[in-house]
Structure 1
Amino acid sequence: MRKVEALLNEYGESHQNKTNVFIHIIAVPAIYFVTFALVWSIPTVELLDYFNITWAHVLALPLLWYYFKLSGPIGAAMTLLTMACFGGVQLLVYVGISVWQFSLVLFIAMWILQFVGHHIEGKKPSFLKDIQFLLIGPAWWWGHWLKRFNIQY
């Protein structure tokens, strides 16, 4: 079994209850988005400002490298999600919503929702066993969509 399959299967073991899965289908990409938005909100240094780069751009590179290392289709899918996150941040800026305040509130709400889902499931979140599963959650989310389109990850 490939590493990506083993990780997604192990993550899936604590995500069997339909309510918990539904919660995670909403909360996982939301947490990915607000995490990028919070990192985007951190003031940058002059060199990054010169190139119009934020800390979120810097963070995206090793994250996407990790996902592509796991699987090409997962890496491509995570690239799409990451691009959508940057677009979402720009939308918040455009409509005049404080990125960090909006993101902090949504971050807290989505994590509470995730823990409610795991309470319903009756199993602890996977990342309590291995911190790597914080990164596997979004890949697991994409795995559901890739399977629907018969794309092998």
Structure 2
Amino acid sequence: MSPAAFSLRQQLAFYGAYHSNPTNIRIHITCVPLIVWSAYVLAAHLPKLDAIPSVHADFGPYLTFDLNYSAIWAITTELYYFALTPGVTLTHLPVAAVTLLSATAFASKPGSLEIAAAVHVFCWLAQFYGHGVHEGRAPALLDNLLGGKSSLSLVLAPLFVHYEVLFILGLFKQTKKNLHNDVRKLVTELKLKKKEIKKE
């Protein structure tokens, strides 16, 4: 993994360069958590490997923990977030926990697979709509895949959305100011690169 992968400022700037339109940001604030939740529901239906120990705990009718692929992904992701920004990750942990536990509980309900799949597809389509109609450019993930580059946008999207909510609440004002400056510079660089590619 490149050093940039552990640079919060670089990662935020890269994401911000693809998410500057207010409507697109609102769509992502709504859809990203639902994409994560539905992905956890879908993953909870996968058969576990024998190497994964059986760990189960109920925290009421709507919150359940199982050591499955969803839990492993959630824990790994939060550890990565913690390496990037310990303080903000602590504020994200309750959100991550409720998302995982509610998704795991829902996965045991009849029809959960079909409902989660529908939510997942709808939210992805909504985000493509936000990028195409309001942002006016392809998502960072798609842009990078088509360009043959690796992207952490999919992994970091929940953290980026969490930052957007914190910004709306009036927190981390200096981080927000730095981010806007970095985004302006990065957008200018991306536009220049595209012009150079067109000339070639």
Shorter-chain TM-score range:
0.7 to 0.9
Deviation string 1:98-137 (CA, Å, 9 cap, x unpaired) is: 3322111111000000000000111111112242011221
Map 1:4-153; keep pairs closer than 5 Å. Answer: 4-46=8-50, 48=52, 50-52=54-56, 53-93=67-107, 96-120=109-133, 121-128=135-142, 129=144, 130-147=150-167, 148-151=169-172
Aligned length: 151
Give the unaligned 5+ runs of structure 2: 1-5, 57-66, 145-149, 176-200
Structure number having the greater helix percentage = 1
Give the unaligned 5+ runs of structure 1: none
Q: 1:93/1:60 Cα in 2 relative to 1: closer, same or farther (>3 Å)?
A: closer
CA contact (8 A) 2:38 2:120 kept: yes
TM-score normalised by structure 2 residue count: 0.66
Cα RMSD between the aligned structures? 2.3
Distance 1:90 1:55 in 2: 11
TM-score normalised by structure 1 residue count: 0.84
Name which one, 1 or 2, has greater alpha-carbon Rg.
2
Distance 1:48 1:98 in 2: 26
Letter aligned with residue 166 of structure 2: L
Distance 2:75 2:104 in 1: 19
Letter aligned with residue 109 of structure 1: F
Q: Which has the higher contact order (CA 8 A, sep 6+)?
A: 1
Q: 1:65/1:83 Cα in 2 relative to 1: closer, same or farther (>3 Å)?
A: same
Sequence identity (%): 21
Q: 1:43/1:122 Cα in 2 relative to 1: closer, same or farther (>3 Å)?
A: same
CA contact (8 A) 1:41 1:99 kept: no
Distance 1:64 1:151 in 2: 20
